[in-house]
Structure 1
Amino acid sequence: MRLFALALALGTATLFIAASVDLPDRGDPDAPASNYVAPYYVEHVEEDIGVENVVSAVLADYRSYDTLGETVVIFTAGLAVLLALARRERHE
């Protein structure tokens, strides 16, 4: 069983390393997200949404389902921690 777990961990690490080779450098101004996605948000935020604050528009409108999903994950993790750490008194 330990050998299987080790092989699985090494395989997963190999896949992550192989996938990360193709990623652009962090902060690269020539990355596709910097050239196509971000300028669209900045240029069209007022006409699409009517809000001047770009950050609020992106989080609340363009990526609202993503933000909702992240909020659910954080809430679920917090609830799991509270349940795991809760002390239970047994009355016998």
Structure 2
Amino acid sequence: MAGVRVSQVLPLPAYGKHQEGGIVTTNAVSYHICPKCSRAVPAESQELFCPNDGTKLLTICPGCSGLILSPYSQFCSRCGHPYISSLHDAGD
């Protein structure tokens, strides 16, 4: 791959403005997260269900409707709402 630029090999994320609840953000990438197993995928992949366990992916924060900006997030950085459900705690 000598002489090949990274932009020729990997597609660059689309930058743009996103309207969310009256607030305009300019983020490069947002994510969908599985509330059961924490699997995250870029929103542009358009996956709606987790291939690991079949759970519907979160596309926005359930607390404030903000975009999920990090694949490592466990809580919303805007409102603090948890992304991962505590299904295992329901039986205790």
TM-score, with length taken from structure 1: 0.25
Larger Rg: 1
Relative contact order higher in (CA < 8 Å, ≥ 6 apart) = 2
TM-score, L = length of structure 2: 0.25
The structure richer in helix per residue is: 1
